[in-house]
Structure 1
Amino acid sequence: MSGLLALLDDVAAIAKIAASSVDDVIGQAAKAGAKAAGAVIDDAAVSPKYVHGFSAERELPIVGRIALGSIKNKLIFLLPAGLLLSNLAPGLIAPLLMLGGGYLCYEGAEKVAHKLFPDAHHPDTVGLGPDDPAHLEEEKIAGAIKTDFILSAEIMTIALAAIPASSLVQEAVTLAIVAIGITIAVYGSVALIVKADDLGLLMSVSGRLRATRAAGRGIVRGMPGFLIGLTWVGTAAMLWVGGSIVVHGMEELGAGWLGHHIHDWAVAVGHLVPQAGAAVEWTAKAAMDGVFGLALGLALIPVAAWAIVPAWSAVSGLFARARG
């Protein structure tokens, strides 16, 4: 009997340790996901455009295929790469984060520049006629998954940097939870957004109550403005997160002068409103990070146009000729 009781005690102790580990993993995943919130907001804001122009019955299948591609990006490619990086070359995490932050700044600044100086054409649809919807759908999905790969890489790197030192298995499980949770949150939200107008139309036509029909009409009328607002929120989030990542990376690499100035200025602004000092200080810091992100992004636009894009096109052409 004493041996059985000792065994039960051991089992209970193991169960407590396991439960504690599960709690640790879930807690770390939640914190890591929160750190990546800015990139997540951008991902959710960018994705609805990929179903624009398709019939209503194709919207959810397209979102589903993009979500599946996002899961593959995160779990098959980015998670193993992130673990190797964390355990074999942790010093590269900060520079890679800064590269990702610079890309977010570039993307955000490009959207601002496009709004101020709209282009004469839209490259997403050049060369694709209206009589070829299947090919257009494949092109849109492929483009969305490529964009998702870059955003997912940023999300996973931010999450990896936020995870405290732990075992390889615990890091892997935490990153997997972050990857799956964020993908469900992003593309679940996208699915709701792209079908909201259909729901509103159904409510306005088939609702039994006058309030239901009125709410449906309100949804239909409000969705265009909501999508525009979501785009601007995503752009602001990109500039804020990208700018803050680069500033923080500069501090880690020994160039902390900009971060110190931003901190001091934000504290000074917070002191102007002592009743809400912390909130005002945070808002001021986020705004200054965003302004820096916009300036950096605008500076990167000509670099991308004159150097990175031609170089990438040349390399892609070489690989295409080699395969041919």
Structure 2
Amino acid sequence: MDRLALFEANRPRLLGLAYRLLGEASEAEDVVQEAYLRWDASTGVEVPEAWLTKVVTNLCLNRLTSARARRELYTGPWLPEPVFTGGGELGPLETAEQRESLSIGLLVLLERLTPPERAAFVLREAFGHSHREIGEILDLDETHVRQLYRRARQHVGDGRTRFTATAEQRRAIVERFLAAAVHGDVAALERMFAEEVVSWADGGGKVSAARRPVSGRERVARYVAGLVRDPRAGEIEFSVRSINGEPGIAMHLWGELFGIVVPEPGADGLVALRTIVNPDKLAYAAAQKGSA
């Protein structure tokens, strides 16, 4: 296999790694392209997959500090860039851990972690690397890696939603939510929500969106139903798609992607709604093949 073919064979995995570390698909693509330039100029690499993993991880770590500073100045809630999945764009999604590590909800929780904690968590949970291998990637001893991973699990675990359901059951829940929302059925929405449900909307100051979370079953139900009264609502095309490895809702207006909603189910009903309408955040998904 020639060098270009070998890199291309690794590209989905590397893009999936960079995206999980950064939460930004466009930024992840830049990292992977930079890794390719380094790969093309390299010589004497004995284990290409390990070498590329280390390069991508460390490029992401260098970017995470500045990314955190930007997010602190962000207008309204910050949510990750959504990605349409199902075609292997971000590597395999065969296990529950691989799918969860890509979910919008978990990517939000990963913002709590320091860059090294995030790297240790992602490399372990999503890609199954041993503590020794992670130490080699991060240039840390194995004991330090174990500490990083333990702290990461503790920080993430505090906000993690535990809900076991098949893909078909999750899709059915999202379809019922969409039907109730489109019809403005407040009562039906309330029945679907957990008592402490929270709705976040990421407009980034570019488009109109709630700049503070909306909390509570009744308030969120009224909020969602109120959105249907938007004059454009009758012209919006809604579809249930695989978004970040889970069922979500894509909204197209006049053929253009203008919003994505990802409901998060829990044991007592939907516990969160995350809506991304910032056009900058939607650019990657809008450009994906078959996004319309």
Which protein has the bigger helix share?
Answer: 1
Higher relative contact order, structure no. (Cα contacts within 8 Å, ≥ 6 residues apart)? 1
Rg larger in structure: 1
Question: Given the two structures, how large is their TM-score scaled by the length of structure 1?
Answer: 0.25
Question: Given the two structures, how large is their TM-score scaled by the length of structure 2?
Answer: 0.27
Which protein has the bigger strand share?
Answer: 2
